[in-house]
Amino acid sequence: MKIWIKLLIGSILGLVIGFLIPPESQRVFTVLEWLENFALNIGRYAVIPVIVFSLTIAVFELRQDDQFWPMLLKNILIIIGASAFVIAAGILATIFFSPARVPINQTEQLEFFSLNVTENIIGIFPSNMFSVLAGDGIYLFPVCVFAFFLGIGLNYDRNYTKPVISMVDSLSRIFYHIASFFSEILGFIMIVLSAFWAVRFNEVLKTGVFRELIIMLGVFSLVLCFGILPLFLYFLKPKTNPWLILYGSLGPAITAFLSGDINFTFPVLLRHFKENFGIRRRSNTLSLSLFAVFCRGGSAMVAAAAFIVIIRSYTFLMISPLDILSIGLQAFAFSFVLSRHPGDGAYIALAALCLSYNGGEYAAGYLIFKPLAFFLVAVGTFVDVMLSAFGSFIVARANGFIDEKKLASFI
């Protein structure tokens, strides 16, 4: 059975179970919350070893062919362009379709959220290089930096590094197959994730407060990912079929939306892109690592859209073009520093916007969307993953790192 069909069946079963559970059942909610954390840990289990060894070999092979820096630059340019485009499109959609205001609720205590940019920068280079491998596996940037330097080190002298190269290459393949095993059983895991998602969504629907925003974000993200983004593939040469890419990305798309976690989806993306599109390891691992760390334009777009609704809920005054530009630039900047928040990026970005905009004028605004945080995160992660899919494919195709696969062989 195709993996995306397993994921779809598990998701549908979970959604049905979740909608049948009474939303006021606090005990069931607590159990599902614990099961969700357990399920997410299973999905993230092999992420660090796969990134360390596969990215190390990717850096080594690309440097051997003098292609590393051009590949890095192309990925960075696509990440910047894609993030800017998605954030701008999301803001324009929110302004033109204008979701209804939401009631202001100031009863909850203000929580402190910070992107901790300075702390994150320090964490890239800990005092012990090996300590990045013993972390909790949430913050991937230091792991990628470790793999980068290890890959560079393998180019030192082949007489000395050849045994290490063979070992790292073998470990890369071993952990890839371990990660592949977990992707095979994700259909069962999706039952838990989708059930908990449905319980929360059912509770939000009964309030009727966020209905217009939910519809706007849902429709816009579908049109963006299944209509607008595929159009960019027509500029590729040789010509490619964008619907084939969409079909091959269904598994990661389902996983991303219902898990809301980039790290959880990473192994699924890695396997689908290797076995569906034939993207070689050197391109696949490098691109997906960069996109997972830096390309959070979807999460930032969702945060900007929700923040505009917050401003409109606080005041009946029109939002000036200068304010819109300011929101867009802040969201764009935040999209590059969300790597420590793989599972709640959109909500953290929204909190950061509220706390930083106009000296904290709307500091408590993000609390309005606390019940809807899971949905904002789901949409944001879905768009992030689809950006990773299209961006990684474009880079691999442009550099000839694709071995064409037939549709019948897609997993």
Condensed to tens digits (0 to 9), the pLDDT of residues 54-77 reads 999 999 999 988 889 999 999 999
Number of domains in the chain: 1
Q: Is the pLDDT of residue 258 over 70?
A: yes
Q: What average pLDDT does the segment 230-256 reach?
A: 85
Chain mean pLDDT for the chain: 87
pLDDT higher for 366 or 236?
366
Q: Residue 216: CB partners within 8 Å, gap ≥ 6?
A: 93, 94, 97, 99, 305
pTM of the model: 0.92
Instruction: Find the mean pLDDT for residues 294-322.
Output: 88
pLDDT of 108 reads 53
Tally Cβ neighbours within 10 Å of residue 142. 21
What whole-number distance in Å separates Cα of residue 30 and Cα of residue 100?
32
Residue by residue, what is the 3-state secondary structure of the chain? Answer: CCHHHHHHHHHHHHHHHHHHCCCCCHHHHHHHHHHHHHHHHHHHCCHHHHHHHHHHHHHHHHHHCCCHHHHHHHHHHHHHHHHHHHHHHHHHHHHHHCCCCCCCCCCCCCCCCCCCHHHHHHHHCCCCHHHHHHCCCCCCHHHHHHHHHHHHHCCCCHHHHHHHHHHHHHHHHHHHHHHHHHHHCHHHHHHHHHHHHHHHHHHHHHHCCCHHHHHHHHHHHHHHHHHHHHHHHHHCCCCCCHHHHHHHCHHHHHHHHHHCCHHHHHHHHHHHHHHCCCECHHHHHHHHHHHHHHCCHHHHHHHHHHHHHHHHHHCCCCCCHHHHHHHHHHHHHHCCCCCCCCCCHHHHHHHHHHHHHHHCCCCCHHHHHHHHHHHHHHHHHHHHHHHHHHHHHHHHHHCCCECCCCHHHCC
- As a whole number of angstroms, the distance between CA 351 and CA 304 comes to 10
Q: Is a pLDDT exceeding 80 seen at residue 229?
A: yes
Query: Which of 58, 39, 45, 42 lies closest to 289 in space, CA to CA?
Result: 58
Q: Does the pLDDT at position 345 exceed 90? A: no
pLDDT exceeds 90 at position 330: yes
CA dist 375 and 210 (Å) reads 10
- Between helix 68-97 and helix 47-64 the angle, nearest 10°, is 130
Q: Is the pLDDT reported for residue 114 higher than 90?
A: no
- pLDDT band for position 23 (cuts 50, 70, 90): low
User: How far from the centroid of its chain's Cα atoms is residue 254's Cα?
Assistant: 12
pLDDT recorded at residue 113: 65
Structural domain for 277, as ranges: 3-409
CB atoms inside a 10 Å sphere around CB 82 = 25
What's the confidence (pLDDT) of residue 89?
A: 94
Task: Give the residue-averaged pLDDT of 94-118.
Answer: 72
Q: How confident is the model at residue 106 (pLDDT cuts 50, 70, 90)?
A: low
26 pLDDT above the threshold of 90 = no
Q: pLDDT higher for 136 or 18?
A: 18
Find the range with the poorest average confidence among 4-8, 99-103, 152-156, 180-184. Answer: 99-103
At 110 the pLDDT is 58
Least confident residue range of 29-33, 79-83, 171-175: 29-33
**Residue range 302-324: mean pLDDT, rounded:** 86
Mean pLDDT of 257-267: 91
**pLDDT of 96 higher than 80:** yes
Give the residue, 109 or 151, on which the prediction is more confident.
151
Answer yes or no: is pLDDT of 107 > 80.
no
Q: What integer is the mean pLDDT of 335-351?
A: 90
Residue 4 in this model has a pLDDT that exceeds 80: yes
Which H helix or E strand runs over 394?
helix 373-398
Half-sphere exposure (CA, 13 Å, Cβ side) for 73? Answer: 6
CATH number assigned to the domain comprising residue 299: 1.10.3860.10
Q: What is the pLDDT of residues 133-169, one digit of tens each?
A: 877 778 889 999 999 999 998 887 777 888 888 999 9
User: For position 278, what pLDDT does the model report?
Assistant: 86
Q: Is the pLDDT of residue 338 over 70?
A: yes
- Check: CB of residue 7 under 8 Å from CB of residue 251: yes
The distance from CA 354 to its chain's CA centroid, rounded to whole angstroms, is 22
First to last CA, the chain: 8
Spatial distance between the Cα atoms of 117 and 60, rounded to a whole number of angstroms: 29
